[in-house]
């Protein structure tokens, strides 16, 4: 059994703890918070026996844990993951794994040296629905157009409008729509097609806050992808992959549950996946597998690195 500690006490950690119940070899045994009261109440609320507070080094020095799940604000992921790796703990870190590709490359090197697993919790690419997209992709023939989007107005945008600082919209905390939601569409694109040859991008900066929304064009040999993301508006527009023989339509690129394959020859097959909406269990299971078997995490890390490099390129293009 892999004994895991969690860092961060927001909703996503609560969801993660619930999801680990579906992963046989993984158990959250300790929760960490910067404040003792919060650690104690969070442990009680989530049925976890042990809690820790104070310096994060005390948590990481414990022989009672083998791994950590990091769900702190994005800008702290590198620092927290680096400390955990140096303490010999396996690391599952929330998306985006780090705020830049170079930070992630540093973590991957450190993890290799310390012989621990480092995995980004990029939930869509481990979801079985995404596996079906990979399987169906050859059916559409030569890919010519891709259009992926994720637009979900954040409740925390209301705080920004009221002039209150919140981590997820704070540039100093690695916040913003590209890092929060654009990462899903970018990871999906890079997983399926690799890194683009060149990009163009634009973003909507918010006053005294990070980007609220953005778009990018990614150019590949023979096709163009458009990507969009927003935390200040919402849309249920599906994502699409258009080939010369047909089109795949995906209801949600972060949680693919209905996938339509329509071909020029008149074929139309709708795949309704009766899977749960919560999908953190799939990357949690991948993490448990990597820890238990010692399988190489390099392919997973390579995708994360290419995704973060593409996001670096989007940011640079948007700033031009
Ligand atoms: N996979 C998904 O579906 C999903 C969904 C939401 C978020 N996420 C990811 O989860 C991570 C956390 O996002 P969030 O929106 O939940 O963040 P958040 O609420 O701003 O912070 C998460 C936790 O980090 C700790 N924290 C907050 N500010 C801190 C600071 N200045 N220094 C050190 N610790 C601090 C807090 O725990 P304590 O005060 O108890 O220490 C807090 O509960 C992000 O990487 C985000 O991308 C993933």
Coil, helix or strand at residue 275? coil
pLDDT at 178: 98
Measure the CA–CA gap between 312 and 276, rounded to whole angstroms: 32
Of 320, 253, 307, 239, the closest CA to residue 101 belongs to 307
Q: What is the mean pLDDT of residues 226-236?
A: 98
Report strand pairing: 143-151 vs 223-230: parallel
Query: Whose C-alpha lies nearest to ligand 1, atom 10?
Result: 71
Q: From the CA of 173, how far away is ligand 1's center (Å)?
A: 10
Report strand pairing: 211-220 vs 198-205: antiparallel
Tens digits of per-residue pLDDT, 254-275? Answer: 999 999 999 999 999 999 999 9
Beta bridge partners of 271: 259
pLDDT at 177: 98
Name the band, by pLDDT with cuts 50, 70 and 90, for residue 289.
very high
Going through 134-267 in order, the beta strands assigned E by DSSP cover 143-151, 198-205, 211-220, 223-230, 239-243, 246-250, 258-263
Query: Whose C-alpha lies nearest to ligand 1, atom 7?
Result: 12
Q: From the CA of 225, how far away is ligand 1's center (Å)?
A: 31
**What are the distances in angstroms from CA 45 to CA 9, 68, 294?**
11, 19, 33
Name the band, by pLDDT with cuts 50, 70 and 90, for residue 152.
very high
pLDDT exceeds cutoff 90 at 315 = yes
pLDDT exceeds cutoff 90 at 207 = no
pLDDT exceeds cutoff 90 at 212 = yes
Q: From the CA of 177, how far away is ligand 1's center (Å)?
A: 15
Q: What angle do CA 170, 172, 175 make, to 5 degrees?
A: 45
pLDDT at 220: 98
pLDDT at 278: 93
pLDDT exceeds cutoff 90 at 87 = yes
54: left (phi over 0), alpha (psi -120 to 50) or beta: left
Helix 280-293 vs helix 11-20: angle between axes, to the nearest 10 degrees? 60
Report strand pairing: 268-272 vs 50-52: unpaired
Q: Is 55 in the pocket of ligand 1 (CB under 6 A)?
A: no
pLDDT at 240: 98
Q: By percentage, how much of the chain surpasses pLDDT 90?
A: 98
Q: Mean of the per-residue pLDDT values for the chain?
A: 97
Query: Whose C-alpha lies nearest to ligand 1, atom 36?
Result: 8
> What pTM value is reported for the model?
0.97
Q: What is the mean pLDDT of residues 43-62?
A: 95
Q: From the CA of 71, how far away is ligand 1's center (Å)?
A: 5
Tens digits of per-residue pLDDT, 2-18? Answer: 999 999 999 999 999 99
């Amino acid at each position: 059994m892999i004994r895991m500690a969690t860092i961060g006490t927001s909703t996503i950690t609560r969801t993660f703890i619930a999801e680990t119940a579906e992963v046989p070899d993984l158990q959250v045994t300790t929760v960490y918070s910067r404040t003792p009261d919060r650690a104690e109440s969070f442990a009680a609320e989530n049925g976890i026996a042990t809690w820790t507070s104070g310096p994060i080094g005390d948590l990481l020095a414990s022989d009672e844990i083998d791994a950590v799940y990091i769900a702190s604000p994005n800008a702290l992921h590198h620092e927290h993951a680096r400390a955990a790796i140096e303490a010999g703990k396996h690391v599952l870190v929330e998306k985006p794994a780090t705020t830049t590709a170079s930070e992630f490359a540093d973590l991957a090197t450190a993890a290799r040296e310390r012989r621990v697993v480092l995995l980004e919790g990029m939930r869509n690419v481990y979801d079985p629905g995404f596996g079906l997209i990979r399987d169906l992709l050859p059916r559409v023939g030569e890919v010519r157009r891709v259009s992926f989007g994720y637009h979900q107005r954040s409740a925390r945008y209301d705080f920004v409008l009221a002039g209150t600082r919140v981590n997820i919209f704070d540039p100093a905390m690695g916040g913003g729509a590209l890092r929060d939601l654009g990462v899903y569409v970018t990871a999906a694109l890079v997983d399926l097609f690799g890194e683009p040859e060149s990009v163009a991008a634009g973003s909507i900066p918010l006053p005294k806050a990070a980007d609220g929304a953005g778009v990018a064009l990614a150019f590949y040999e023979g096709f163009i992808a458009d990507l969009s993301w927003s935390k200040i508006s919402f849309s249920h527009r599906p994502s699409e992959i258009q080939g010369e023989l047909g089109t795949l339509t995906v209801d949600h690129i972060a949680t693919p549950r209905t996938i339509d394959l329509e071909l020029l020859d008149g074929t139309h097959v709708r795949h309704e996946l009766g899977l749960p909406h919560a999908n953190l269990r799939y990357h949690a299971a991948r993490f448990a597998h990597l820890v238990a078997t010692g399988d190489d995490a390099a392919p997973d890390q390579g995708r994360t690195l290419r995704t973060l490099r593409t996001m670096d390129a989007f940011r640079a293009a948007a700033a031009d």
